Chains A and B, each alone.
Chain A
Amino acid sequence: AQSVTQPDIHITVSEGASLELRCNYSYGATPYLFWYVQSPGQGLQLLLKYFSGDTLVQGIKGFEAEFKRSQSSFNLRKPSVHWSDAAEYFCAVGAMGSGNTGKLIFGQGTTLQVKP
């Protein structure tokens, strides 16, 4: 069965510091992987996605993620965090063969707190 694990429930970093949010998945084939960000009481905004090709994916707001098949991971990174990055981050995996339109399975989420 598909599953997504975000090992870190809560992370606190100082503004300007680098950030890495971990995501591990369980899947039977090449997954479609996503990172979303959610501000309190809001919907989800897509940061980036991986379908195929280059395993280092660039996203919006200076985020990037690297797909590592051998580790079943898709970690999200940002070189320098801004206070406005404080939010909830979700990693998600798409159903096999679905392209853009299969259902997504979400990880538990990681709450990012940014210290001034």
Chain B
Amino acid sequence: GAVVSQHPSRVICKSGTSVKIECRSLDFQATTMFWYRQFPKQSLMLMATSNEGSKATYEQGVEKDKFLINHASLTLSTLTVTSAHPEDSSFYICSAASANYGYTFGSGTRLTVV
């Protein structure tokens, strides 16, 4: 079956630094990748949608300059949280979509900004 590898699973960074989260589809090509943010005990909030080679489409209220998304290939998308602050601490999940496998989710990244 389809597998999406998301790294790192946990990261702690200092306030003001940047953090990159990688989402890779291992055995299929993803038409589209989605990035979600999840607060404790809450649902997934879609942050942005990215297609390979195109600029990401951000949801209303999501700062595109803060959450940089790169989708360089059909198997790799990255989310960079720039100048992170404690309020950016959250659980980030990616999802890779393909016609053959539907939506496949990564295992998530727990970001803690101290």
Contacts and interface: CB of A to CB of B under 8 A. Distances in A.
A46 B102 contact: yes
Contacts of A107: 43
Contacts, number: 54
A45 to B, nearest CB: 8
Interface in B71-114: 91, 93, 95, 97-103, 105-108, 110
Contacts of B108: 41-43
A5 B46 CA distance: 16
Given A42-B107, A99-B99, A106 B43 contact: yes
A111 B34 CA distance: 24
16 contacts: A41-B91, A41-B108, A43-B107, A45-B105, A46-B103, A90-B43, A90-B44, A99-B99, A100-B98, A100-B103, A101-B32, A103-B49, A104-B95, A106-B44, A108-B43, A109-B42
Given A43-B105, A44-B93, A103-B46, 16 more contacts: A34-B103, A41-B110, A43-B93, A43-B106, A44-B44, A44-B105, A46-B102, A49-B102, A90-B43, A100-B101, A100-B103, A101-B98, A101-B99, A104-B95, A105-B46, A106-B44
Interface of B: 4, 6, 31-32, 34, 41-44, 46, 49, 91, 93, 95, 97-103, 105-108, 110
